[in-house]
Each structure stands twice: as structure tokens, then as C-alpha cells.
């Protein structure tokens, strides 16, 4: 059995989503008008820009940083991995996460991704739907359904993805509090570097024990999949598995919690759309895709130019860092009419909320499934819940990562 | 929108060297696409999805592996609005 040998105690750790907000997400409520204004000048900007948090002057000895606001231009960069490399993530994530697929270029990226991809296909996810995701969400709802009111961020959206991941990994239940704590410490590494690095090391030791056990006794869980996976004679080595499992935490926990919250926010602020989904759950896919377009949980993707290039008439120097503003691209008025409005009934078009190109979100089908089960379960059990009229109206905020920090609602179950 | 005529049936091609099995096409057009055991997209039934949605699936392919053809000619996907 994986032991509880580390320093972390196993008591439930209350963790406040607000702790993350200043450092991880930024506190800006609506960066989109400034982005739109800059995009109208040019979809690509070279040099420092100011989106309300002050311009980052950067290092004058380095190539001028580039910011991309336009949909077509973001797609062009994400589809050209030879010119625009992912290796920039070595510096951003590598020290904490280890060497992950996030920072790899082709052909290495594909060789590793192929090995992990099968576990994340829609069909493979069906095994986790009812027994696993629905159960997690139902247990969370049980804790507050008698009260008639709740903050859905603190009570549901913030907690369910980490529990889902813990169950997908097949971790023993008594380890959940510790695992959730390490996960939060790792994903909030920007708030506390030493704590994040320590959590990363602790997770590695913990996963080493679990892997040993799964090699001896394989089960129907992701870690068993990862130790068994083989494509053309290639396996994942232990470090590759550790890195992938660590990556799963920010990639699979924080994003899903934010996306689910933003979708609820969109619905709670538009009763017509809330009722439409309440009455017809087949609308879920378009309602969720519209959420990821309108308020993608991850708003920025980074790349580094491997050679000089031209983009929308702007010269990009070799070695320049590019910030691709996914949220801005998804609100490109050249592509989406009335881009600032959450409208699940708009003409469905591709968005870049899950990224694009070879690095497109590996977990997008898992995210869709988790959000669908969570929101359907909320609608089934809480009925037509509404924003709490006695609480301050919630808002979405953040720059690199965005979502509502609270969603105070009232309900009469079944009503 | 879709051409109801049988003479010029739409053909859907997938470049397997390029396809990395994201499953995005299956999401857009589950009646037409499926993923093989080795993780590549395959065309199950090109006629099962209307042309507009097939265009979305092809445009939405993260790596641009899907092309649409009619009467031996590739249909341009890029739209400039």
C-alpha cells in the first residue's frame, strides 16, 4: 500500500480558492476590451504591451517579446511547431513538473503522447462516468443540499476534479486529503515556490510506491494503464510516468474546476439559457464549447521562435517569446459575431480554448465528460437554482487563468 | 446546404502521417469519424453528417489532417470573413 510516510498530515486541509487568486490568476475582471482594442490595431504586437497590469519591459538584450491576439494568427502559430517551439515550457514548468510533453517538440512529443493518449479517448472515459464522476459530485452535493444555499465554487467545482483524478489514478480513499493538498501546493507553486517544489518531490515518492504496487497488481486505473502501455515496443520509463502524473494535476484539476465554474456563471446570469439547458440536456455539448470559447480557463499559451518569421506583417526575431492570448483569439470579432456574449445557440465554430495543433488538450474529452456529469447532476438535484440575491454578485476574474471565485446560489431541491 | 445529389458524393480523406488522434473530429461528427485501436481517425461513413458539420470537423482538426473532396477536387476549407 502506498504509505502516508511523508510530512503531510492526513486531516482534511481547508484550502481557500481565494489564496490562489492574486498570484496565479491575476485580479483583472475584464481584460477583453483592452485586448480587443490592441487587436484592432494589429492581431500581432511586437514589444511590451500593457493590458492593465503594467507593461513588462523585459530584457532589452533579448529578442522583443510578441503577443498574438488574432484567431487566425494563433492557429498559424500553433500549427507550426517547427517555427514556434514548446521548449519555452522547460523554463516555466520544467523545474517543478519534470520533463513533460508540454515542453517537447516533434517527433519526441508524439512518441510520448501516443503512449498516454489511449487512456484519454472518449470511449475509454465511459468507464469512469457514472461510478466515478457522478459519485464524486453526488457526495459533494450531499454535504449541503439540506441547507438550501451554497457557494458552488467552494462546495463543488473547486473540489470535484481533484477527487476525480484521485479516483482515476486508483488512489486509496484515505490518501485523498493528502493528495489534494499536494495537488494544490503544486498548482499554486507561483504563490509559494518552496512549497510547490516540496510537493512535487513528495508526489514523486508517493507515485513511486503506487507504481510498484500497480506493476505487481494491475487494476482498472490510469497508473496501471501507464505502466502497461506500449507502442511499437516503446514503454514509458519511471521518470516519464512521474512527469506525466504531475502534469495531470495542473492540467486536469485546475482547468476543469475553472471551466465548470465559468459555465455555471454563464448560465446563472442568463435564465433563458439556464432553462434551455435544464429542459434539454442534449444542449450540453454546445453550451460547454461556448464556455470554453467565451471564458477559456487557460488564457495564455507560450511558444518560442526557432527562426525569424513573419506573422500578420510583423517580424518575429529568432528566439523571441510569444504569448498567444487564447481568450482574445476566441473573441476575435472577425470570427465570432458578438464575441463577448455567452450564447450557447451561436453558430458552432472551432475555438482555441483547448489549444490547437499537436499539443491540443489531451484531456479535452475528459473535461467535457466531467463538466457534463457535474452540471447535469447539479441540475438534477438542485433544480432551477439561482444566484443568491443576498450575496454580492459573483464575477469572473484573472489574466492567465480565469474563472469565478464564488458562485453563491439558493435552491429548493427538486423545484 | 448538403448536396442531396448522388452524383457528386463528398469524400473525406485523413492524412494518417499527420493525424495524432485528438478525437476532435469524432466530437464534431461522431456518425462519420471514429478512432482506430492505434489511435488514428478513420472515416466510417462520409455521408452520415451534413456538409456544414463536416467542414467544421475538417477546419477544426488541430493538425489539419482532414480534407474534403468532391469529384476529385479538394474543397477549400479556409473561410475569410
Could you report the per-residue pLDDT of A277-292, keeping only the tens digit for each?
A: 999 999 999 999 999 9
Q: Which residues of chain A neighbour B62 with C-beta distances below 8 Å?
A: 78-79, 355-358, 360
A12 domain residue, yes or no: no
Instruction: Look at residue A10 in the predicted model and tell me its pLDDT.
Output: 35
Nearest to A42 by CA among A73, A17, A64: A73
User: Which helix (H) or strand (E) segment is A248 a member of?
Assistant: helix A238-249
pLDDT at residue A57 is higher than 70 = no
Average per-residue pLDDT for chain A:
89
Is A122 within 8 Å of B23 when comparing Cβ atoms? yes
CA–CA gap between residue A157 and residue A406 (Å, rounded): 10
Is A350 within 8 Å of B56 when comparing Cβ atoms? yes
Rounded to the nearest 5 degrees, what angle is found at the Cα of A147, between the Cα atoms of A141 and A151? 60
Distance of CA A108 to the CA centre of its chain: 23
Q: Which residues of B touch A (CB under 8 A)?
A: 20-24, 26-27, 35, 38-39, 56, 59-60, 62-64, 81
Domain boundaries, chain B: 10-74
Instruction: Look at residue A290 in the predicted model and tell me its pLDDT.
Output: 98
Question: How many domains would you assign to chain A?
Answer: 1
Q: Find all residues with CB under 8 Å of A162, minimum gap 6, and list them.
A: A179, A180, A183, A184, A249, A253, A257
A103 contacts A359 by C-beta, under 8 angstroms: no
pLDDT digits (tens, 9 = 90+) for A160-211: 999 999 989 999 888 988 888 888 888 888 778 899 899 999 999 999 999 9
Instruction: Look at residue B1 in the predicted model and tell me its pLDDT.
Output: 46
Query: What ipTM was reported for this prediction?
Result: 0.85
Q: Which of A114, A334, A350 sits opposite B39 (nearest CB)?
A: A114
Q: Which residues of chain B neighbour A329 with C-beta distances below 8 Å?
A: none
Residue B38, SS3 per DSSP:
coil
Region of poorest pLDDT, from A3-17, A131-145, A313-327: A3-17
pTM listed for this prediction: 0.90
How far, CA to CA in Å, does A407 sit from each of A72, A230, A269? 34, 44, 11
A3 domain residue, yes or no: no
A342 contacts A128 by C-beta, under 8 angstroms: no
A196 contacts A182 by C-beta, under 8 angstroms: no
CA–CA gap between residue B19 and residue A216 (Å, rounded): 35
A6 domain residue, yes or no: no
pLDDT band at A2 (very low <50, low <70, confident <90, very high): very low
Q: Which of A121, A350, A358 sits opposite B20 (nearest CB)?
A: A358
CA–CA gap between residue A399 and residue A390 (Å, rounded): 28
pLDDT at residue A121 is higher than 50 = yes
Q: Which of B39, B59, B60 sits opposite A117 (nearest CB)?
A: B39
What's the CATH code of the domain at A320? 1.10.630.10
CA–CA gap between residue A97 and residue A145 (Å, rounded): 38
Helix H, strand E, coil C: the string for A46-98 is ECCCCCCCCCCCCCCCCCCCEEECCHHHHHHHHCCCCCEECCCHHHHHHHHHC
CA–CA gap between residue A336 and residue A409 (Å, rounded): 31
pLDDT digits (tens, 9 = 90+) for A362-376: 999 999 999 999 999
pLDDT band at A8 (very low <50, low <70, confident <90, very high): very low
A1 domain residue, yes or no: no
pLDDT at residue A244 is higher than 70 = yes
Residue B78, all three cell numbers:
479556409
How far, CA to CA in Å, does A384 sit from each of A1, A44, A149, A274, A377? 44, 43, 12, 8, 12
Half-sphere exposure of A130 (CA within 13 A, CB side): 0
Domain that holds residue A299: 18-410
A199 domain residue, yes or no: yes
Contacts by residues A230-239 (CB-CB < 8 Å, ≥ 24 positions apart):
A230/A115, A231/A111, A231/A114, A231/A115, A231/B38, A234/A111, A234/A115, A235/A115, A236/A112, A236/A115, A236/A116, A238/A208, A238/A211, A239/A98, A239/A99
pLDDT at residue A25 is higher than 90 = no
Q: Which residues of chain B neighbour A356 with C-beta distances below 8 Å?
A: 62
Fold of B10-74: Alpha-Beta Plaits (3.30.70)
Instruction: Look at residue A171 in the predicted model and tell me its pLDDT.
Output: 92
Amino acid at each position: 500500500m502506498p504509505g502516508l510516510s511523508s510530512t503531510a498530515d492526513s486531516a482534511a486541509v481547508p484550502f481557500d480558492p481565494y489564496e490562489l487568486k492574486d498570484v496565479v490568476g491575476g485580479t483583472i475582471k475584464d481584460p477583453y476590451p483592452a485586448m480587443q482594442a490592441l487587436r484592432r490595431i494589429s492581431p500581432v504586437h511586437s514589444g511590451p504591451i500593457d493590458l492593465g497590469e503594467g507593461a513588462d519591459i523585459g530584457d532589452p538584450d533579448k529578442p522583443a517579446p510578441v503577443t498574438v491576439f488574432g484567431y487566425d494568427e494563433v492557429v498559424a502559430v500553433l500549427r507550426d511547431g517547427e517555427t514556434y517551439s514548446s521548449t519555452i515550457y522547460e523554463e516555466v514548468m520544467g523545474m517543478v513538473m519534470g520533463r513533460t510533453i508540454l515542453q517537447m517538440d516533434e517527433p519526441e512529443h508524439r512518441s510520448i503522447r501516443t503512449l498516454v493518449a489511449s487512456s484519454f479517448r472518449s470511449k475509454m472515459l465511459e468507464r469512469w462516468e457514472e461510478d466515478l464522476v457522478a459519485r464524486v459530485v453526488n457526495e459533494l452535493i450531499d454535504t449541503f443540499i439540506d441547507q438550501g444555499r451554497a457557494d458552488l465554487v467552494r462546495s463543488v467545482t473547486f473540489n470535484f476534479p481533484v477527487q476525480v483524478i484521485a479516483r482515476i489514478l486508483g488512489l486509496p480513499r484515505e490518501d485523498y486529503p493528502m493528495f489534494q493538498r499536494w495537488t494544490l501546493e503544486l498548482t499554486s507553486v507561483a504563490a509559494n515556490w518552496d512549497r510547490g517544489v516540496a510537493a512535487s518531490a513528495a508526489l514523486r515518492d508517493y507515485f513511486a510506491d503506487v507504481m510498484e504496487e500497480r506493476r505487481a497488481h494491475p487494476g482498472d486505473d490510469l497508473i496501471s494503464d501507464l505502466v502497461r502501455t506500449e507502442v511499437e515496443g516503446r514503454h514509458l520509463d519511471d521518470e516519464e510516468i512521474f512527469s506525466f502524473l504531475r502534469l495531470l494535476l495542473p492540467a486536469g484539476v485546475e482547468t476543469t474546476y475553472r471551466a465548470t465554474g465559468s459555465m455555471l456563471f454563464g448560465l446563472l446570469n442568463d435564465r433563458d439559457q439556464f432553462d434551455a439547458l435544464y429542459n434539454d440536456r442534449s444542449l450540453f455539448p454546445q453550451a460547454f464549447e461556448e464556455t470554453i470559447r467565451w471564458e477559456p480557463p487557460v488564457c495564455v499559451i507560450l511558444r518560442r521562435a526557432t527562426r525569424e518569421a513573419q506573422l500578420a506583417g510583423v517580424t518575429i526575431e529568432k528566439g523571441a517569446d510569444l504569448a498567444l492570448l487564447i481568450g482574445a483569439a476566441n473573441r476575435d470579432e472577425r470570427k465570432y459575431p458578438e464575441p463577448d456574449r455567452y450564447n450557447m445557440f451561436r453558430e458552432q465554430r472551432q475555438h482555441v480554448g483547448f489549444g490547437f495543433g499537436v499539443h491540443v488538450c489531451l484531456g479535452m474529452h475528459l473535461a467535457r465528460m466531467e463538466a457534463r456529469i457535474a452540471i447535469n447532476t447539479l441540475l438534477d438535484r438542485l433544480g432551477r437554482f439561482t444566484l443568491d440575491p443576498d450575496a454580492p454578485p459573483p464575477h469572473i476574474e484573472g489574466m492567465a487563468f480565469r474563472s469565478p471565485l464564488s458562485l453563491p446560489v439558493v435552491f429548493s431541491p427538486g423545484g | 446546404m448538403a448536396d442531396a445529389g448522388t452524383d457528386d458524393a463528398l469524400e473525406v480523406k485523413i492524412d494518417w502521417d499527420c493525424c495524432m488522434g485528438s478525437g476532435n473530429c469524432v466530437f464534431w461528427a461522431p456518425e462519420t469519424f471514429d478512432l482506430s485501436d492505434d489511435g488514428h481517425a478513420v472515416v466510417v461513413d462520409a455521408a452520415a453528417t451534413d456538409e456544414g458539420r463536416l467542414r467544421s470537423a475538417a477546419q477544426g482538426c488541430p493538425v489539419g489532417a482532414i480534407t474534403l473532396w468532391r469529384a476529385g477536387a479538394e474543397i477549400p476549407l479556409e473561410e475569410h470573413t
